[in-house]
């Protein structure tokens, strides 16, 4: 039996609102606000608990050390961690902000995951994203690659290094990839959604060449589908496809303006996957879709065979989005449940439920090869919650990013997390 594991990003102790992400409306709207790293991480952990309570398997990926003094040394800064950070704070404050970002929380951007039934060698392939469009995210790539190799070290997995950092190879990972199949263990149809240089005011982050490379590295079979994201969606703030579309098993939930070539894509999907269920919202504007993050919900398969939507509070509070959700639940389709989760800290930086998780479908043998330190049950989740309550800062104002006391507190928090990860699992 094949199951899908959601690996959520644990929100790091330097979570802050620096407004670093061009095209992400929430990020820019909240730039300069005071963040609450402890509350942010606890909200994320509560979402993980919701998935566990639904009977699903849940994992997590730890944040890399931030501020990233180890990365800054590669740029010529020298000395102890504190000395490096002090020098960067004095010489290049924007670089310090980038090196302090907790954006690795959004593990949908960690890698593109290609399921074993779809690959040439029958292994699960993870192609680490280079995230080259934004400096703060590009600093994550090497750390993410190391983490993925630590988690998925067994022979059932192939973890690929990030693609070269180049303007025409920008790769944002699973946020622009959808897999549709009769079930998680069946051979599926892989849809890679990309942008193009169309001269809009926001960057189109996923390059077609990067998507093609990910499919090629994994030997995706049968041939992958490549679909262009609509310019209108990007203009409205859908910087990733998962802001306007989400797929699970044989269900595609999408905004009608998600894709530039919608009729051709839907026709090809229907031809390749008999039993495809397409759910499109009809009375939801792109503006309400982006504000509510309805499509950035998790769509998950439950043990009883039904599906559930894990939606942010913002989707419930947006009248148009909530009406669409009720229409979906009342219709004849596999989506029968909705769970509302509070992720306001992440949402204020532009990341909803789907941004916070990387989906990894695995058969039983592959499941046994995952490092157990990164899998959660209720007891381990309780311990991780207590760790966050003890070590994560309560609040970070923009001026705090230059405070050595914050740097030291973050280092202590990361050390405590590493102790948790290296302790024996029961």
Of 4, 15, 160, 172, catalytic: 172
Q: Is-catalytic flag, 4?
A: no
Q: Residue 136: CB partners within 8 Å, gap ≥ 6?
A: 18, 20, 21, 97, 98, 99, 101, 103
Q: Is-catalytic flag, 240?
A: yes
Backbone angles phi, psi at 56, to 5 degrees: -95, 160
Strands (E), 255-334: 277-280, 298-301, 307-312
List the 189-194 sheet strands across, edge first: 177-180, 189-194, 225-228
In 3D space, the residue among 232, 271, 275 whose CA is nearest the CA of residue 252 turns out to be: 275
**Are 357 and 107 in contact, with CB atoms under 8 Å apart?**
yes
Distance CA 217, CA 368 (A): 24
Distance CA 210, CA 163 (A): 7
For 341, the enclosing helix (H) or strand (E) is strand 335-341
Distance CA 251, CA 278 (A): 6
Q: Angle CA(279)–CA(285)–CA(288) in degrees, nearest 5?
A: 100
In 3D space, the residue among 176, 108, 113, 157 whose CA is nearest the CA of residue 137 turns out to be: 108
In 3D space, the residue among 148, 246, 157, 233 whose CA is nearest the CA of residue 198 turns out to be: 233
In 3D space, the residue among 342, 352, 421, 406 whose CA is nearest the CA of residue 13 turns out to be: 406
Backbone angles phi, psi at 15, to 5 degrees: -50, 120
Distance CA 367, CA 345 (A): 31
Q: Is-catalytic flag, 155?
A: no
**Are 141 and 126 in contact, with CB atoms under 8 Å apart?**
no
Tokens of 264: 């051709």
Of 125, 160, 240, 255, catalytic: 240
Of 194, 255, 355, 414, catalytic: 355
Q: Residue 118: CB partners within 8 Å, gap ≥ 6?
A: 179, 187, 188, 190, 218, 220, 221
Residues taking part in catalysis: 172, 240, 355
């Amino acid at each position: 039996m094949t199951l899908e594991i959601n690996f959520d990003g644990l929100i790091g102790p330097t979570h802050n609102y620096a407004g670093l992400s061009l095209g992400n409306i929430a990020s820019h709207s909240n730039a300069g606000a005071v963040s609450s790293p402890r509350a942010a991480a606890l909200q994320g952990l509560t979402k993980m608990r919701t998935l566990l309570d639904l009977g699903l398997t849940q994992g997590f990926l730890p944040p890399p050390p931030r501020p990233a003094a180890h990365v800054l040394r590669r740029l010529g800064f020298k000395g102890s961690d504190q000395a490096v950070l002090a020098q960067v704070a004095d010489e290049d404050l924007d670089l310090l902000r980038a090196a302090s970002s907790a954006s690795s929380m959004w593990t949908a951007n960690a890698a593109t995951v290609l399921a074993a039934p779809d690959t040439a060698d029958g292994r699960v392939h993870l192609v680490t994203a280079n995230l080259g469009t934004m400096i703060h995210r590009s600093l994550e790539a090497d750390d993410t690659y190391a983490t993925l190799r630590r988690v998925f070290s067994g022979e059932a997995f192939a973890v690929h290094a990030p693609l070269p950092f180049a303007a025409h190879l920008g790769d944002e990972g699973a946020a622009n990839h959808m897999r549709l199949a009769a079930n998680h263990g069946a051979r599926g149809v892989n849809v890679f959604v990309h942008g193009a240089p169309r001269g809009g005011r926001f960057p189109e982050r996923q390059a077609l060449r990067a998507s093609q490379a990910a499919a090629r590295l994994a030997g995706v079979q049968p041939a992958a589908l490549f679909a262009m994201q609509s310019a209108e969606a990007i203009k409205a703030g859908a910087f990733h496809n998962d802001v306007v579309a989400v797929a699970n098993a044989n269900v595609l939930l999408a905004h009608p303006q998600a894709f530039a070539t919608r009729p051709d894509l839907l026709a090809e999907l229907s031809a390749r996957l008999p039993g495809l269920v397409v759910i499109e919202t009809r009375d939801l504007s792109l503006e309400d879709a982006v504000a509510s993050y309805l499509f950035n919900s998790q769509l998950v398969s439950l043990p009883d065979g039904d599906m559930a939507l894990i939606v942010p509070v913002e989707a419930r509070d947006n009248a148009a989005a909530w009406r669409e959700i009720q229409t979906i639940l009342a219709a004849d389709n596999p989506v029968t449940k909705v769970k509302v989760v509070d992720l306001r800290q992440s949402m204020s930086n532009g990341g909803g439920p789907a941004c916070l998780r990387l989906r990894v479908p695995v058969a039983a043998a592959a499941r046994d090869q995952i490092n157990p330190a990164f899998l959660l049950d209720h007891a381990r989740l309780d311990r991780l919650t207590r760790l966050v309550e003890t070590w994560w800062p309560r609040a970070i104002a923009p001026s705090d990013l230059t405070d050595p006391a914050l740097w030291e507190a973050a280092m202590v928090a990361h050390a405590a997390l590493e102790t948790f990860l290296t302790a024996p699992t029961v």
